[in-house]
Amino acid sequence: MNDTPPPPPVALNQARERTIRQLGEHFAQDHLEAEQLEERVDRALAATTLQELQELVRDLPALHSDPALTAAASPAIRTAPAEQVAERQAVVAIMGGASRKGSWVPPRELSVIAIMGGAELDFREARFGPGVLEVSILALMGGVEITVPPGVHVEVNGVAIMGGFDERASTPLPADPSAPVIRIGGFAFMGGVEVRTRLPGETKGDARRRERVERREARRLHRGE
């Protein structure tokens, strides 16, 4: 029979949050696969004792304090001086494909044309100029995929006929007027525009699992558990 009294609710919740943060850091340092992270976070949310929480990280290696690893876990938005930002550029995909990805500097105005083809814009490693980036899209029987990193505010205001403009949840509008904002508009006919948020190097499956974990944690914190 275990006569150890249960920990106070506040202490247990603090330990739970600390354990979940540690699990996230272990995932960022490749100590856990996405499925293992999700399973251990579920167990942390259901834990009722400090011992259960300790068991979730006991078998994992020590966390590194390398600043580069810390930055990889919470990637900062990359920026570029205003003088390096072009006024306007175009991405054209006609019966084919076109993409902008990797380390690149988006212009202030970007026109994207996809006619019976596909265009991809990946902003995860882009170096943003200050202020608003206007993206104007024309998709005719084609598609445009836009990937943005966490922390960038995105606004979508497009018209679709037999198609769609899809926007994933975005961060709030920044108070700093020089912070990067992506404003997406245009027209899609029998085509589609998809906007998604992913970490650098994150796959679609990894992103879905991370978003599920984040939603569960947000609901738990909202309930004050």
pLDDT in tens, 55-80: 998 888 877 654 444 444 445 678 88
pTM: 0.60
- In this prediction, residues 27-51 reach a mean pLDDT of 85
Given this model, what pLDDT does residue 104 score?
Answer: 92
Starting at the earlier edge strand, list the strands of the sheet with 153-161: 88-94, 109-115, 132-140, 181-189, 153-161
- In this prediction, residues 107-121 reach a mean pLDDT of 94
- H or E stretch at 23: helix 9-28
